[in-house]
Amino acid sequence: MQARYERIFKTAESSLSVGCLYTLLFIALLSTLACKALAQADTLLYNAKIVQSDGSFVEALAIQNGKISAMGDSQDILALATTQTLTLDLQGKTVIPGLIDSHIHAIRAGLTYQREVSWIDTRSIPEALSRLESAALKAPRNTWLIVAGGWVEAQFKEHRRPTQTEIDGVAHGHPVYVQLLYSAVLLSSNAAQAWGLTPVAKKQNKNSNGAQTRLPSELLSRLTVQASESAETSGWYEGSSRTISELFDRLPQPSFKEQVIGTRAFFTELNRLGLTGVNDPGGYNLPLKSYRGVKLLGKTAQLTLKVRYNISAPRRGYELVDFQGIVKTFAKDDTPPFLQFNGLGENVSWSMYNNDAPTQEDQDQLFTVLLWAARQHLNVTLHWNNESSVDKLLDVLKRVNAIADITPCRWSIAHLNDASVSTLVAMKSLQIGWLVQNSLYYQAERFALQRGNPSLLEVSRFNTAKQLGLRTAAGTDAHRVMSFNPFVALQWLVSGLSISGTTTGSPLERPSRLQALQMYTRESAWMSFEDQTRGSIAPGFWADLVVLDRDYFSVPTQEIGDITSLMTFVNGKVVYPANAKVLASIPTHSTQASAQQQPSTFCPSKKFGPRGFCVGIFEPNGQFCAIQ
């Protein structure tokens, strides 16, 4: 019997050994395959300062199939390189997650971008006029010159608006339209005449350049003419946001080809500023046909950033039926991961849009649409400006939530600079996000004039929101009301200083640089249900990255707004600079290259490192060689 048991034990021991052996071999095979897959990195970034979610830094990362596959020190990551790997020595430069503007009218801006004159970063009226004259000298005869917004008087050292006489002097006969926020427009003398705003206005219905003339009497009645010191018209006309929007729509419209070209150019400019994604909230004057250009770019794989768009109600009084049709059909031709429908907003119900005194009927109309959206589990973003009336909106949201749970839907309220603590608590209870922009950077003085200087210290309770656990994302609301530059917004977030040096908000409410960056990345990604795949630099996340021209974490606060991207990646591919083998010449603000990969003294079109893999490096003269 004992001999029998010994045979059974030996057989079992033998079987166990064989099983363990196979198991170990199988694990080894999987490990080998995993290491091989990991080693087949498409791109390596090393000798860098790469920020992680907790604020710590690593030197290097690997990108494979559009996602971050590994992170660590330079030596370990370089060991993953093959002869097919693009390897970039960043010489100590800072790498941050790709920025995501949580509230920007990017689609609308792109439509007319190629035909506009930008005053966004000008610092004096002569500089602004110089840009206008430069455009006038290049434009075909009688072409309208359009400054669509993005500037304020406070940015000029003169601290005033330009005059009609000044723009007439540089327009070289072109009609000129200059928009200030959504409150006023400046017209050249011939533009005012063409629109029937002068005693000698032309009587024809259309002029040679296509602009509609002789404004309807109803529209004229909503304009206020600003008188000059000489009691003659100054060329400035003021009106409501609706009125100004309708004026803009009467300008010559770009062709579809111009819309596509403008969109591509505008998105490239956003890439230059470190943006890899936008959350577009639709808008007051953005009809459904306006999306054709961005959809074409998506279909032809020409988008260079990720667009998440919400649709605003196309028609007053037909909001619900229009949304029901849009949800069924409009998003079918989207092209994820670059172009994706995200939900409804910012104008969900016309009767509640820019209405601080809604009636019960107005609130009921919004309730009807939002209840349907909640039952469809749709995302919604809502435009609301003032704390004094936000209780009207919150009452509707609470009514909806009592019937259909909205907390998983990640709804958001945009703007609301003066949100009180009680409002933020109410938003948190409904799991509603807060979309904040840097409007007070440009309009602090206007805000103080309307509400008093003490009110400026009661705005932007960012740290209160953070302590409550309220998801808070940053953006610009560009481009009619302010610049689309995210680093200008980041500078304002951490400093609280307006463009003219006015202090806004309490120092206790300002985020740190890391927190502000997270508001522009991870928190923005949360608004589109992508915070587990975008907005952070971590293995498994999409490689949406920005190599900065200077260190965001150490430059003087007043210089944050001047930061730009040296190289922008979306899904692991370089989208800025576009189609360039040699990037623009830049000064070097970094450490020396590692001993393993010293920069050469020339910039060839192709180069191989000591291990035989393709490389890109910063040259001593500041140029960067990138292998395409």
Backbone angles phi, psi at 307, to 5 degrees: -110, 120
| Token pair of 124 as six digits | 């004096």
Find how far residue 515's CA is from the centre of its chain. Answer: 17
Short-list 409, 2, 431, 446, CA closest to 180: 446
Which strands make up the sheet holding 275-280, listed edge to edge?
Answer: 99-101, 275-280, 306-311, 339-344
What integer pLDDT is reported at residue 31 of this predicted model?
45
Measured from the Cβ of residue 396, the count of other Cβ atoms closer than 10 Å reads 24
| Token pair of 578 as six digits | 């576009």
Which of helix, strand or coil describes residue 3?
Answer: helix
| Token pair of 109 as six digits | 């801006």
Which of helix, strand or coil describes residue 187?
Answer: strand
Diameter over CA atoms, the chain: 123
DSSP assignments along 562-583, one per residue = G--EEEEEETTEEEESTT-SBP
Find how far residue 446's CA is from the centre of its chain. Answer: 25
What integer pLDDT is reported at residue 27 of this predicted model?
45
What integer pLDDT is reported at residue 291 of this predicted model?
97
Contact (Cβ atoms closer than 8 angstroms) between residue 418 and residue 459? yes
**For the segment 65-111, what is each residue's pLDDT rounded down to a tens digit?**
999 999 999 999 999 999 999 999 999 999 999 999 999 999 999 99
What integer pLDDT is reported at residue 225 of this predicted model?
83
Q: Is the preceding peptide bond at 454 cis, omega within 30 degrees of 0?
A: no
Which of helix, strand or coil describes residue 538?
Answer: coil
For 92-120, give one letter per residue: b (16+ CB within 10 A) or e.
bbbbbbbbbbbbbbbbbbbbbbbbbbbbb
Mean pLDDT (the chain, rounded): 86
**Strand 176-180 and strand 565-570: pairing?**
unpaired
Distant-in-sequence, close-in-space partners of 444: CB < 8 Å, separation ≥ 6: 154, 456, 498, 500, 502, 504
What integer pLDDT is reported at residue 452 of this predicted model?
86
Quickly tell me which residue has 């930061």 as its tokens.
Answer: 563
What integer pLDDT is reported at residue 197 of this predicted model?
83
* Identity of the amino acid at 232: E
Find the mean pLDDT for residues 421-447: 96
Which of helix, strand or coil describes residue 28?
Answer: helix
Please state the three-class secondary structure of 79-129 as a single string: CCCCCCCEEEECCCCEEEECEEECCCCHHHHHHHHHHECCCCCCCCHHHHH
CATH architecture of 38-95+537-552+575-628: Roll (2.30)
Short-list 133, 104, 103, 102, CA closest to 117: 133
**For the segment 174-190, what is each residue's pLDDT rounded down to a tens digit?**
999 999 999 999 999 99
Short-list 487, 467, 330, 313, CA closest to 383: 313
Q: Is the pLDDT of residue 511 over 90?
A: yes
Find how far residue 610's CA is from the centre of its chain. Answer: 40
| Token pair of 190 as six digits | 């011939």
Contact (Cβ atoms closer than 8 angstroms) between residue 449 and residue 523? no
| Token pair of 355 as six digits | 């209405």
Contact (Cβ atoms closer than 8 angstroms) between residue 383 and residue 353? yes
Distance separating alpha carbons of residues 351 and 359, to the nearest angstrom: 9
Q: Hey, do 38-95+537-552+575-628 and 305-534 end up sharing a CATH topology, with the first three levels equal?
A: no
What integer pLDDT is reported at residue 604 of this predicted model?
33
Global pTM? Answer: 0.86
Which one is predicted more confidently, 597 or 539?
539
Short-list 269, 267, 287, 289, CA closest to 278: 267
Distance separating alpha carbons of residues 108 and 312, to the nearest angstrom: 12
Q: Is the pLDDT of residue 42 over 80?
A: yes
Q: Is the pLDDT of residue 200 over 90?
A: no
Q: Is the pLDDT of residue 168 over 60?
A: yes
CA 54, 59, 63 angle in degrees (round to 5)? 90
Short-list 16, 480, 559, 551, CA closest to 248: 480
Q: Is the pLDDT of residue 570 over 90?
A: yes
Q: Is the pLDDT of residue 28 over 90?
A: no
**For the segment 585-609, what is each residue's pLDDT rounded down to a tens digit?**
323 222 233 333 333 322 333 333 4
What integer pLDDT is reported at residue 209 of this predicted model?
52
Percentage of the chain lying above the pLDDT 70 cut: 82
Q: Is the pLDDT of residue 220 over 90?
A: no
Find the mean pLDDT for residues 399-413: 98
Q: Is the pLDDT of residue 344 over 60?
A: yes
C-alpha distances in Å from residue 193, one per residue of 161, 186, 211, 249, 435: 21, 13, 12, 18, 41
Where are the chain's structural domains?
1-30, 38-95+537-552+575-628, 144-249, 305-534
Backbone angles phi, psi at 272, to 5 degrees: -60, -30
**For the segment 312-324, what is each residue's pLDDT rounded down to a tens digit?**
999 999 999 999 9
Distant-in-sequence, close-in-space partners of 332: CB < 8 Å, separation ≥ 6: none
Assign a CATH topology to domain 305-534.
TIM Barrel (3.20.20)
**For the segment 346-401, what is each residue's pLDDT rounded down to a tens digit?**
999 999 999 999 999 999 999 999 999 999 999 999 999 999 999 999 999 999 99
